[in-house]
Amino acid sequence: MKNKHYEYVIVGAGLSGLTAAAYLTKAGYSVLVLEKTPTYGGLLNSFSREGYVFDAGARAIENSGIIRPMLKDLGIEMELLSSPVSIGVESQVISIVSKESIDLYRQALQTLYPDNVDDVRKIFRKIEKVYKEMHVIYGFENPVFKNFRQDKRYLFKELLPWLGRFLLAVSRMERMNEPVETYLKKVSTNQSLIDIIDQHFFKRTPTFFALGYFYVYLDYLYPKGGTGKLPEKLVQKMLENGGELQVNTEVKTISLAKKLVQDGNGQSYSYDKLLWCADLKSLYRNLDTSGLGADVVGSITTESEKILASRGGDSVFSLFIGVDQPPQAFASITNGHVFYTPSRKGLGETHLSELKNLLAKGKDACKKEEIRAWVTTYCALTTYEISIPSLRDASLSPEGKTGLVVSFLLEYDLVRLVNDAGWYDEFKLWVEDGMIKTLNQSLFPGLFDTIELRFSASPLSIEKKFGNSEGGITGWTFELPSPVVNMLQKIPDSVKTPLPDVLQCGQWAYSPAGIPTAILTGWYAADSICTSRESDRKKAKKIRLRNEYKRTYPV
């Protein structure tokens, strides 16, 4: 097949790839986006099943001073709904609608753990400090989407005063980088109290990132029509600007010296620059470095070893349910987005030593009954994230009915073990039953008898569909040193790679990653390209003028 040439080829149609594409096409460049799956949006997408609309990835969108200004900068109109969160333990369910609501959660924990009132007070004093720093960092519209070079008033009256506070806040936050489990153990000896707070988060999440969620809960937005509307709008903008999107196209080879990528069908695409917005392990596994110098190959080999030795972050099991109950039945219990723990007991060793022992046995020695018993206990004690789309947008479920997305963290290695042992489908049904039974006995009495639709996705589903290593949903695990940039002030450098004319962006380029980070890295990649091109144009113009001068006035 004849090669197709584009100035920029982008691999991965998630939020970072689509953001970069929107900005590059806005600047007038020829852009092709290649996506291996049949859809775009990556871990932010919505789909319909029997009249219910479900969100397949993130259940809401954190604004973080990025979403609204990015949409405005691109000229995208989109209705964003408020997405209030509830936090619950047993019968205590608190609606988080303001900073004052967080204090109600503190009171609820003190009621649940009367012997640890002082411990809870100390934890929430730390939360208050983190909240203030998060407000400085994310409560200000990110200046990268502002043309402050032309708006002097904004530059001197708003940006510069904020910048000083921002740098100070970032410095303070980085001093709270120890794992949240470690911090909580310094404050309390009650393992159940520690669990009830830290099991909301990925293992060994930095303290500032974990406790910062109490600010994030107030910063969630929900696109009318489902979370998939955001990537849909970005695709529309890119196509309007002349860009191209090709789905069902998996890149198999990247020839760096030839500046060529080849897909599974043998079609090749040449580029001036390549933006890799997919799993980084797949990039380094599929590189062709022939024709490059020894020094360049050496740098690539070093980076490749680091990336391939790393591990994707924690993953989730998600259950999608259609219920023959009206949304009002759920609105009387919770908001449309809830983090709920059915027991104050906490996970304890269920998610640590017991799981580790199961995995150590391997697929041949580990019995079904052991894994089933572990799953039953886990379902009864873990923390659930539950999304009810029709409580935010009534059009997202059939009239008089309600769709729910119920998920919790689940170890990828356990699902892989079960799959290798040959009883993956049976395992999924067992997990589904455990989730439904737990919620039927706690937060949603009567749920079991009204379910008319149910299906699920596991960490293995995420790995297979999206190519995410170990089914990771936020990039790299916190349990190992990050192989990529993980300091806020260095995030512009996160897009750089040792590969000639290749940039990286998205959830794998910066850690910890989420929707705002993916968007920001996509913007930084596009901006670095546009800035470099503009610099090259100016240099070329100077050379041309100098040559013309020499021809006109020869020495």
What does the pLDDT read at residue 351?
76
Q: Which of 173, 275, 207, 203 is nearest to 487 (CA)?
A: 173
Q: What is the pTM of this model?
A: 0.94
CA-CA-CA-CA dihedral for 10, 12, 17, 21, to nearest 10: 40
Start and end residues for every CATH 3.50.50.60 domain found in the chain = 4-59+227-312+474-539
Are the beta carbons of 224 and 80 closer than 8 angstroms?
yes
C-alpha triplet 337, 13, 338: angle, nearest 5°: 5
Name residues whose C-beta falls within 8 Å of residue 437's C-beta, 6 or more positions apart in sequence.
379, 448
pLDDT over 70 at 554, yes or no: no
CATH class of 4-59+227-312+474-539: alpha beta
CA distance 376 to 30: 53
CA distance 555 to 548: 13
* pLDDT, mean of residues 469-493: 93
Question: What tokens does 247 get?
Answer: 């789905």
Q: How far is CA 314 from CA 40, 201, 209, 308, 380, in A?
A: 22, 9, 15, 17, 20
User: What secondary structure letter does DSSP report for 476?
Assistant: B
- Give the mean pLDDT of the chain: 94
Are the beta carbons of 475 and 508 closer than 8 angstroms?
yes
Residues 122-160: tens digit of each pLDDT: 999 999 999 999 999 999 999 999 877 777 888 888 899
* pLDDT, mean of residues 428-457: 98
Residues 236-276: tens digit of each pLDDT: 999 999 999 999 999 999 999 999 999 999 999 999 999 99
> What is the identity of the amino acid at 426?
E
Q: Which of 332, 319, 457, 330 is nearest to 401 (CA)?
A: 330
Q: Which of 137, 81, 141 is nearest to 337 (CA)?
A: 81
Are the beta carbons of 20 and 502 closer than 8 angstroms?
no
In this prediction, residue 291 has a pLDDT band, given cuts at 50, 70 and 90, of: very high
Q: How far is CA 454 from CA 80, 316, 318, 434, 436, in A?
A: 28, 17, 11, 13, 10
pLDDT over 70 at 537, yes or no: no
CA distance 142 to 212: 18
pLDDT over 70 at 538, yes or no: no
In this prediction, residue 69 has a pLDDT band, given cuts at 50, 70 and 90, of: very high
Name residues whose C-beta falls within 8 Å of residue 165's C-beta, 6 or more positions apart in sequence.
136
* pLDDT, mean of residues 182-193: 96
| Structure-model confidence comparison of residues 156 and 542, the more confident one | 156
By DSSP bridging, strand 402-409 and strand 384-387 are antiparallel
Q: How far is CA 463 from CA 184, 313, 466, 553, in A?
A: 32, 12, 6, 65
Are the beta carbons of 318 and 474 closer than 8 angstroms?
no
| Count of alpha carbons within 13 angstroms of residue 506, beta-carbon side | 28
CA-CA-CA-CA dihedral for 26, 535, 532, 547, to nearest 10: 110
Beta-ladder partners of 331: none
What does the pLDDT read at residue 174?
87
What does the pLDDT read at residue 550?
57
Residue entry with tokens 């411990």? 119
pLDDT over 70 at 168, yes or no: yes
Residues 48-61: tens digit of each pLDDT: 999 999 999 899 99
Question: What tokens does 312 get?
Answer: 């994707």
pLDDT over 60 at 430, yes or no: yes
Question: What tokens does 141 get?
Answer: 């519209």
What does the pLDDT read at residue 155?
85
Question: What tokens does 82 get?
Answer: 């408020």
CA distance 448 to 438: 10
Burial class (CB in 10 A: 0-12, 13-18, 19+), 92: middle
Name residues whose C-beta falls within 8 Å of residue 345's C-beta, 6 or more positions apart in sequence.
192, 195, 381
448 by DSSP, 3-state: which?
A: helix
What does the pLDDT read at residue 534?
63
> What is the identity of the amino acid at 157?
K
Q: How far is CA 79 from CA 226, 398, 463, in A?
A: 11, 21, 31
What does the pLDDT read at residue 488?
87
Backbone CA torsion sign across 246, 42, 283, 456: negative
pLDDT over 80 at 555, yes or no: no
pLDDT over 60 at 165, yes or no: yes
Q: At what angle do helices 117-138 and 191-198 cross, to 10 degrees?
A: 20
How many other CB atoms sit within 10 Å of the CB of residue 137?
21
Beta-ladder partners of 47: 54
What does the pLDDT read at residue 436?
98
Question: What tokens does 215 get?
Answer: 């600010």
